């Protein structure tokens, strides 16, 4: 657990984000909010079809979510109150600024919803191809420079041991 000067507690956990107790779980989504693979599939499988249904309604109403932006749905059967769907960039196609933006906007959305805890996966490091090192560096910088309102705790959840070890090294070096 890291205690930051901005007041946030940050924890790195290796595991399945659908098992985490947090007010919001962040999903690594695509612009169409079609949760067909990776962490998105795991969230819908465990949380229930309501999450995909609300996602479809969102896209029908507002259009696709731009890269670097977020959208919110309920969390179905998961312990969380909300799912914040963050659309990260595809490595080499969209820029790192979009990953920075997706992470920052997920935190801002949690504050807007007056939540105290948020769990984040390694956005863009699966199907979207980002190296763990780059995602970890961007994430640590966003968390460090963030000025929280209601958020007290950020839990970063890494699925593989490899991802966990890389994030741990970069967070240890920077926090
Ligand atoms: P993206 O399209 O943004 O790359 P993915 O879902 O493919 O999204 O991958 C993002 C990260 O989430 C990857 O590091 C992947 O290993 C991880 N991941 C997959 N399933 C889970 C899960 N159940 N909990 C936490 N992280 C997960």
ipTM metric: 0.99
Ligand 1 atom closest to 43 (CA): 23
Q: Which residues' Cβ are closer than 6 Å to ligand 1?
A: 16-18, 28, 38-40, 42, 88, 121-128, 157, 159-160, 163
pLDDT at residue number 92:
97
pLDDT in tens, 114-164: 999 999 999 999 999 999 999 999 999 999 999 999 999 999 999 999 999
pLDDT at residue number 82:
98
Which burial class, exposed, middle or buried, applies to 91 when counting CB atoms under 10 A from its CB (0-12, 13-18, 19+)?
A: middle
Q: Whose CA is nearest to atom 13 of ligand 1?
A: 126
Measured in degrees and rounded to the nearest 5, phi and psi for residue 101 equal: -65, -45
Spell out, as residue ranges, where the chain has pLDDT lower than 50. none
CB 57 within 8 A of CB 90: no
Measured in degrees and rounded to the nearest 5, phi and psi for residue 169 equal: -60, -45
pLDDT at residue number 42:
98
* Site of tokens 């205690």: 3
pLDDT at residue number 150:
98
Q: What are the structure tokens assigned to 172, written together? A: 């240890």
pLDDT at residue number 26:
99
Ligand 1 atom closest to 38 (CA): 6
pLDDT at residue number 91:
98
Domains in the chain, please, with CATH? 2-174 (3.40.220.10)
């Amino acid at each position: 657990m890291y205690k930051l000067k901005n007041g946030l507690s940050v924890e790195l956990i290796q595991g399945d984000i659908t098992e985490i107790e947090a007010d919001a779980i962040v999903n690594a989504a695509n612009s169409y909010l079609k949760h067909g693979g990776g962490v998105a599939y795991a969230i819908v499988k465990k949380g229930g079809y309501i999450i995909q249904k609300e996602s479809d309604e969102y896209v029908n109403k507002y259009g696709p979510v731009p890269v670097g932006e977020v959208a919110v749905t309920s969390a179905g059967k998961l312990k969380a109150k909300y799912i914040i769907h963050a659309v990260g960039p595809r490595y080499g196609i969209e820029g790192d600024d979009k990953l920075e933006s997706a992470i920052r906007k997920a935190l801002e959305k949690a504050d807007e919803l007056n939540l105290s805890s948020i769990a984040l996966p390694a956005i863009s490091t699966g199907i979207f191809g980002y190296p763990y090192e780059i995602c970890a560096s961007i994430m640590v910088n966003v968390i460090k420079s963030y000025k929280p309102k209601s958020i007290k705790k950020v839990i970063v959840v890494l699925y593989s041991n490899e991802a966990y070890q890389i994030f741990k090294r970069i967070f240890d070096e920077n926090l």
